[in-house]
Each structure stands twice: as C-alpha cells, then as structure tokens.
Amino acid sequence: MDSLEKFIYLKDSPSEQLFLKWSEFLKQKKFNLSHFEKIDFTAPSPVIYDSAGNKFSIDFNENKLNYHKKKGSIKTELLSRAMGAGKAGNRILDLSAGLAIDAIFLSQLGYEVTALERNPLIYLALENAWEKLDKPMSLKFIFSSALDFLQTSQAEFEVIYFDPMFPEKIKSALPRQEMVLFRHLVGDDIDAGEVLQAAVKYKNVQRVVVKRPIKAPILGLKPHSQVQGKLIRFDLYGAQK
C-alpha cells in the first residue's frame, strides 16, 4: 500500500481492522494503487477516492443501485427468461460480479449464485458489502479470473452468466462520478471472447447467458437465441461438448 498516500481509519476500531485486512490482501495481490488518492474506512462501507475526486463504494443495503428489484418488473422478467426461468437448473456461475446487481437479483429470484470477481479492490468491496447483509439468499463471491476458474474448478453449474464491461455502455446503474472510477478500475475486459469459448465448454453446463448492450456485436460465437430488451439483450448459448 506504499503508493497510497492516505487511509482514513480510527485506531483500535473496526475501521482499523478493515484497513489491515484490505491492505494485506491488496499487497498480496500486488494491486497497483497509484491511481487512488485515499480509502476512507470510517464510512459505513469503505469509500475509495481517485485523484480527480471520483469516489466509489459498494453497499447492498442502500437502494441507490437498485439492488432490490421487484418480482414481475420488466427487468426481472427479461433476466428470468434469459436464465430459462429455472428450467435449465438452479445453480448459476456469474463470471463477472462487478457491483453484483445481477448476482443479488438472481439470488433474490431463488437461484444459487457463485459470483467471480478478478479485481482485488472490487472483490474486497463486494465481500464487505456481503458480510453486512441479512442474507437468506444463496450467494457467494470468489476472487478469481473467469478463465482460471473455468479451467480448474470441479464445481457444477447448470447456467453460466457473463456481463463483461463494454466500452460504450449506454446506461449505467452508477452515478457518473462512480462510473468513471469503476471503469478505470476494471478496464475493457478484452479477454471476453476467450472467456465465452471456455464457458460453453464447461462440464455439464446447460446454458450460457451473455449480457450485451442492444447494438453491441456478438462476442465471437453465434448465439442460439436472444432475449431482447430496449437497451440490453441476452445472447443465449447451449452447451458445446
């Protein structure tokens, strides 16, 4: 954490514990913090600031990111249809947790969700938000790149869900300031095509669902079918052996 100038935490308090945990993990993962100005651990969820004053945090209990979607809403119906409305199976592997809006949503629909995130700072923010949640839902986060996980895991999933970053996402769930920082953190997910190739070959998977902006090109492979909304679509792939 040498390159980060300031951490805000209170000595001998939970915020210091959190600071120690985060700094150890980031050091272990050799995460480059030079772009960031400070992390405030005294806030209800740690707030990450960059040098341009943009900030970012994840808190599932706040509804500003629309974590609590209503059953029967258009968005719920679209995603639910894309996942096969439970017919393909109940175990979902989300390869791109991000802010976990989709992962939380899917677990609220009753799916058993395992969500991967490869960015250390986003993973820490997710894990922290998850620990503070009252959780009857079945959801867990794993720090891993999708390719590593798909190549090494023995776990079984009927559905794989993938929502890679797209350079010009039309509409974002995040306020502008936070989106700037999130984009900087994540980049453009340039390995997305390769990830999809590995996902469709994953053992015993029934369906792979890729979320794309409505006008975005397909991710290399031709989907078997699509579920289309106004701004986004889901490209559906069957298993390929």
Ligand X SMILES: C[S@@+](CC[C@H](N)C(=O)[O-])C[C@H]1O[C@@H](n2cnc3c(N)ncnc32)[C@H](O)[C@@H]1O
User: Which residue number, 6 or 35, has a Cβ lying nearer to ligand X?
Assistant: 35
Q: Which stretch binds ligand X (CB under 6 A): 32-40, 54-62, 163-171, 196-204?
A: 163-171
What x-and-dash track marks residues 12-51 binding ligand X by CB under 6 A? ----------------------------------------
**What DSSP state is assigned to residue 223?**
P
Distance CA 208, CA 96 (A): 13
Q: Which stretch binds ligand X (CB under 6 A): 18-26, 68-76, 116-124, 197-205?
A: 116-124
Q: CB neighbours of 176 closer than 8 A, spacing ≥ 6?
A: none
The closest alpha carbon to 90, from 107, 105, 75, 68, belongs to 107
User: Which residue number, 15 or 54, has a Cβ lying nearer to ligand X?
Assistant: 54
**Alpha helices for the chain (secondary structure H):** 14-28, 74-82, 101-108, 120-131, 146-152, 176-186, 192-200
Q: CB neighbours of 227 closer than 8 A, spacing ≥ 6?
A: 78, 81, 82, 233, 234, 236
Near ligand X by CB under 6 A: residue from 189, 208, 227, 232: 189
Judged by CB under 6 A, the chain residues 56 through 95 that form the site for ligand X are 95
Q: Residue 182 Cβ, how far from ligand X at the closest point, in Å? A: 7
Distance CA 212, CA 218 (A): 8
Which residue has the CB atom at the shortest distance from ligand X? 98
Q: Which residues bind ligand X (CB under 6 A)?
A: 95-102, 116-119, 122, 145-146, 163-165, 186, 189, 191, 195
